[in-house]
Amino acid sequence: LDPEEFRKNGHMVIDFLADYYQSIQNFPVRSQVKPGFLLETLPDSFPLHPEPLETIMNDVQTDIIPGITHWQSPNFFAYFASSGSTASFLGEMLTNGFNVVGFNWESSPAATELEMVVMEWLLKLLQLPPCFSFANGGGGVLHGTTCEAFICTMHAAREKILDQIGRQNASKLVVYCSDQTHFSFQKSAKILGINPNNIREVPTSKSSNFQLLPQSLEDMIKEDIEAGFVPMYLCATVGTTSTTTVDPLGPLCEVANAYNMWVHVDAAYAGSACICPEFRHFLNGVEGASSFSFNAHKWLLTNLACCCLWVKDRLALTSSLSTNSVLLRNKATESGEVVDYKDWQITLSRRFQSLKLWMVLRTHGATGLREMIRKHVKLAKEFQRLVAMDARFEILVPRYFSVVCFRVSPSVINDDEGDANEFNKKLLQSVNATGRVYMTQTIVGGIFVIRFAVGATLTEEKHVLKAWKLVCDHATSMLCKLN
């Protein structure tokens, strides 16, 4: 690595990205390319000789960018946003620049200790109970994704329970979630070898806003115990993916704890909102859980990927995941005074992830981050107000945070739910095909719903108003054709 070449080329890429952000609104938000577009464009084989960066960047512009869906566009209202920021980007640059592999304390003490500091800062910012702090036998760690947090905590839970009931009973273990829990939960359970027939999805309903109800959970647990199964793990969600509903943590933990289960609270999206005092009550009861995670890359101005996980009993996690190779033996580990994060995650190697979060927390401070959350919630409220004012539309579930779930009402089509689903699906396709905005759908209780999810860092009121006008114009023209 030649420092002068690094400086020159680094500036070129920064300039390229600054120009990209300046013109991001000119690109279709959702990429409009057809499958195979890049496979057909790029050469079949690798270059034999070195190529200058200018040539490569030209190809990024002409070949790569058309195939990008612009998640950072202010007109991105799909899925949950992946909010980025300059602070986080610069933190990522430092991470890449240092390029250390901090699997244990000795391999880069700052990587471990900064992560510990940042996780304790976040614990305080979220007002998580002290039982999740390093000071009390718990602790926090950065994973890439929630799926990894599920896998590691479920693994810890399984080892803990098998120590009690014997390994020969592994096939009796049952895990619980609701029919609204993110599908990465099922994936994690499968990866861990939980029998797919032992993954219980507690049904939810519109009448209770798709919440996981403690009574339904307890009924299922009792049935399982009677049938000889062993309840092991429950996932409760704060901010479900479809509708952002919030499961009642306190009562759910009470049920699960009575059966000696591990409870994980997944707040992938909505966890960030809980840094605001007015949303913190959604975490009430989290003290009864065994672990808690949220994705800072969803709504805390942190570039992908960054899942923050805390556990109450760090020994349960580390004893289930630790390895003790002679290659890594060192004095610090043997002293027992340090954290070796390799024992808190799936992989051995790990990035110096905490730098970007540290940069975000310091650059924006609690006040700046709360301001960003409140702005997005305000914009979602504004969209909700516009939908509510138009009698052709309806809002399907209450808005908790920054997502509005809406549709054209069946009453303006022909009162047929099936036709309404088809109509709304076409409406969404038609709006997205313009490339001017991007929204996605969900299906809850058999109803096709358009999700309007605010969360992109650059989104302002004018983008929300423009998106609503687009939806209205397309609905009007489609309804005219119907009549």
Write the DSSP symbol of residue 401.
Answer: S
Residues 462-481 that bind ligand PLP (CB under 6 A): none
Q: Which residue stretch of 40-48, 235-243, 276-284, 365-373 sits at the interface with ligand PLP (rule: CB under 6 A)?
A: 235-243
Of 299 and 406, nearer to ligand PLP (C-beta) is 299
Side-chain-facing half-sphere of 62: CA atoms under 13 Å: 7
Of 268 and 338, nearer to ligand PLP (C-beta) is 268
Instruction: Tell me the residue number closest to ligand PLP, measured at CB.
Output: 145
Of 184 and 333, nearer to ligand PLP (C-beta) is 184
Q: Applying CB under 6 A, does 307 fall inside the site for ligand PLP?
A: yes
CA trace torsion 44, 48, 50, 52 (10° rounding): -40
Of 9 and 69, nearer to ligand PLP (C-beta) is 69
Of 344 and 468, nearer to ligand PLP (C-beta) is 344
Burial of 76 (0-12, 13-18, 19+ CB in 10 A): buried
**Torsion angles phi and psi, residue 236, rounded to 5:** -105, 150
Q: Sign of the C-alpha dihedral, residues 26, 27, 32, 38?
A: positive
State the nearest-atom distance from the C-beta of 474 to ligand PLP, in Å. Answer: 26
State the nearest-atom distance from the C-beta of 232 to ligand PLP, in Å. Answer: 19
Task: Determine which residue in the list 95, 133, 209, 237 makes contact with ligand PLP, applying CB under 6 A.
Answer: 237
Residue type, 257: N
Write the DSSP symbol of residue 65.
Answer: G
State the nearest-atom distance from the C-beta of 37 to ligand PLP, in Å. Answer: 25
Q: Note whether 406 and 387 are within 8 A (CB).
A: yes
Contacts of 448 (CB under 8 A, 6+ apart): 407, 420, 421, 422, 424, 425, 441
Q: Which residue stretch of 154-162, 233-241, 321-329, 475-483 sits at the interface with ligand PLP (rule: CB under 6 A)?
A: 233-241
Q: Which residue stretch of 109-117, 234-242, 408-416, 461-469 sits at the interface with ligand PLP (rule: CB under 6 A)?
A: 234-242
Name the residue among 358, 367, 349 with its Cα closest to residue 306: 358
List Cα–Cα distances, 348 to 123, 188, 222, 446, in angstroms: 25, 19, 39, 43
State the nearest-atom distance from the C-beta of 193 to ligand PLP, in Å. Answer: 19
Q: Which residue stretch of 139-147, 167-175, 220-228, 398-406 sits at the interface with ligand PLP (rule: CB under 6 A)?
A: 139-147
Of 27 and 344, nearer to ligand PLP (C-beta) is 344
List Cα–Cα distances, 269 to 185, 345, 403, 461, in angstroms: 15, 21, 11, 21
Task: Determine which residue in the list 9, 41, 145, 440 makes contact with ligand PLP, applying CB under 6 A.
Answer: 145
Write the DSSP symbol of residue 33.
Answer: P
Residues 165-224 that bind ligand PLP (CB under 6 A): 182, 184
Task: Determine which residue in the list 80, 383, 401, 468 makes contact with ligand PLP, applying CB under 6 A.
Answer: 80
Task: Determine which residue in the list 123, 147, 355, 449 makes contact with ligand PLP, applying CB under 6 A.
Answer: 147
Q: Which residue stretch of 64-72, 141-149, 322-330, 369-377 sits at the interface with ligand PLP (rule: CB under 6 A)?
A: 141-149
Through-space distance between the first and last CA atoms of the chain, rounded to whole angstroms: 67
Name the residue among 312, 291, 318, 296 with its Cα closest to residue 134: 312
DSSP E strand stretches across 5-154: 76-77, 139-143
Residues 249-268 that bind ligand PLP (CB under 6 A): 266, 268
Q: Buried b vs exposed e over 397-419: b needs ≥16 C-beta within 10 Å?
A: bebbbbbbbbbbbbebbeeeeee
Name the residue among 353, 380, 373, 405 with its Cα closest to residue 209: 405
Q: Sketch the per residue contact string, 283 through 302, with ligand PLP: x for CB under 6 A, - otherwise.
A: ------------x-------
Q: Applying CB under 6 A, does 272 fall inside the site for ligand PLP?
A: no
Q: Applying CB under 6 A, does 440 fall inside the site for ligand PLP?
A: no
Site size toward ligand PLP, by CB under 6 A: 15
Q: HEC profile for 137-153?
A: CCEEEEECCHHHHHHHH
Task: Determine which residue in the list 88, 198, 241, 421 makes contact with ligand PLP, applying CB under 6 A.
Answer: 241
State the nearest-atom distance from the C-beta of 49 to ligand PLP, in Å. Answer: 39
State the nearest-atom distance from the C-beta of 46 to ligand PLP, in Å. Answer: 31
Q: Buried b vs exposed e over 163-190: b needs ≥16 C-beta within 10 Å?
A: eeeeeeebebbbbbbbebbbebbbebbe
How many residues comprise the chain?
483
State the nearest-atom distance from the C-beta of 290 to ligand PLP, in Å. Answer: 17
State the nearest-atom distance from the C-beta of 312 to ligand PLP, in Å. Answer: 20
User: Which positions touch ligand PLP (CB under 6 A)?
Assistant: 80, 145-147, 182, 184, 237, 239-241, 266, 268-269, 295, 307
